[in-house]
Amino acid sequence: MPVRCVAFDADDTLWDFTGAMRRGLALALEVLAEVHPAVAAALDLPALEAAWDDAYAAYVADPRPNDRVDDLRPRSFATVLAAHGVVDADLVDRMATRYYAHRRNEVELFDEVADELARLGERYALALVSNGNTDPRRRGLPGRFDLWLAADQIGVRKPDPRIFRMAALGVGCHPSELVYVGDHPHHDVVAAQAAGCRGVWIDRAGAGPPPPGVHPDATVADLRELPSVLDRFDDEDAAALAAVGVGPHPEPWPNDDRLDPALLARGDRRNVVDRYRYWREEAIVADLATRRHPFHVAVENWRHDRNIGAVVRNANAFGAAGVHIVGRRRWNRRGAMATDRYLDVRHHDDTAGFLAWAAAEGLAVVGIDNVAGATPLETEDLPERCVLVFGQEGPGLSAEVLAAAAQVRAIAQFGSTRSINAGVASGIAMHAWARAHVSALAGPPARP
């Protein structure tokens, strides 16, 4: 499946955590030296780092830790001091305060990160999934990520595979469509792969091959190498899809002007039903136009919703008369898997223009959203001539659509989540329309 989301670890992947940490530890040692110079002289940075590593290992191993990651640094200081006969909670607090004052304010992005994230954000959903506590908004990346999952806030931490599945769900993609990039071979690569994602190891230090048993889907030195890796992943998926379809047509070829000589010669690996094998694209569009159903689908797109590709693909599958994008013109065509080529896909700049079009066409506007007062989708049939409208991921339908809709229908749910994404909801609603208005006896059209 094509890559739809690129998710990142934070520390030592996007910013230089190690450098800021070591400078902060040196400042903490200066605080210690003011009170216990002999103890400070006996300690070094590796000793302080090792104490934190031990505390962190226990933290990630505990499925329900009572501590936050912020608690680990002062605990590591207390452990080291106690080993040298010093038990002083006030001193530990002052060391931690000095450490965090530097570490939180002085950590720096790696040179290429801002520019590369801007480029990647034009093609993919971007997510930040981290066990750490550095706020990306304070690191020069405000608004850069479509999703930010901080382990302490959600109660799940790497290497638990659930955190990667949560990221995929949060951006509306399948785990196989998410690529995770991080510097830790086990927490960022092996764990992501266990969740069904691809794991890319970023090896900024040039450490060499990964540890035994770790097999990254790719290794990069920095983010500048990532676009070519993502293209390779898509090329590999396309090659796998090439096994779908049919090979060259045996000669003599049929005498049918709907058929494409180039496809007859090399084979047809497109994502089309067998009826349309070897057909020219324009011939498929013309044939579909004769069997379109009298319902349309619309999606509000105020924040570049990446579920639109799935909605378009569903609309193609259920024979919708057309798809309407309301708001921003750009949308994730990659997710449509080329099905938009066979559909009437229109753009409306604003809700008023879209509603005026629907009124002129005599179509009932039916909003699909789980809001108060909505009628269950399952209790009565949808109108035959209608446009099914789906809202933006997260906020749902706009107030303008809700006010203008002839009906608002809700999909029954039985779990804890408030809503399902527009891609899934659209498939359910279109299937409900088809069950009501398409004869169950009507099978697929015969091949020519």
How far is CA 328 from each of CA 55, 301, 393, rounded to the nearest angstrom? Answer: 47, 5, 14
Nearest to 116 by CA among 194, 14, 234, 248: 14
Which residue ranges of the chain lie beneath pLDDT 70? 63, 65, 241-242, 304-306, 440-448
Strand partners, 7: 127, 180
Give yes or no for a contact between 201 and 221, defined as CB atoms under 8 angstroms apart.
Answer: no
Which pLDDT value is given to residue 315? 96
pLDDT recorded at residue 284? 96
Helix residue spans in 292-384 (DSSP H): 308-317, 351-360
H or E, element range at 243? none
pLDDT attached to residue 60: 76
Which distant-in-sequence residues (6+ apart) come within 8 Å of 419 by Cβ?
A: 369, 370, 396, 413, 425
pLDDT, position 445: 47
CATH number at 291-437: 3.40.1280.10
Look at residue 443 in the predicted model and tell me its pLDDT. Answer: 45
Tell me the C-alpha distance between 186 and 176, whole Å. Answer: 18
Of 318, 305, 330, 333, the C-alpha closest to 398 is 305
Give backbone dihedrals phi and psi of 252, rounded to 5 degrees, phi first: -75, 145
What is the pLDDT, as a whole number, of residue 441?
Answer: 36
SS3 46: helix
Q: Which pLDDT does position 444 carry in this prediction?
A: 47
DSSP state of 248: P
The pLDDT score that the predictor gives to residue 70 is 80
Backbone angles phi, psi at 317, to 5 degrees: -65, -35
Question: What pLDDT, on a 0 to 100 scale, did the predictor assign at position 252?
Answer: 93
Q: What angle do CA 197, 200, 204 make, to 5 degrees?
A: 155
Q: pLDDT value at position 396?
A: 87
Task: Report whether CATH 3.40.50.1000 matches the domain 5-14+110-238.
Answer: yes
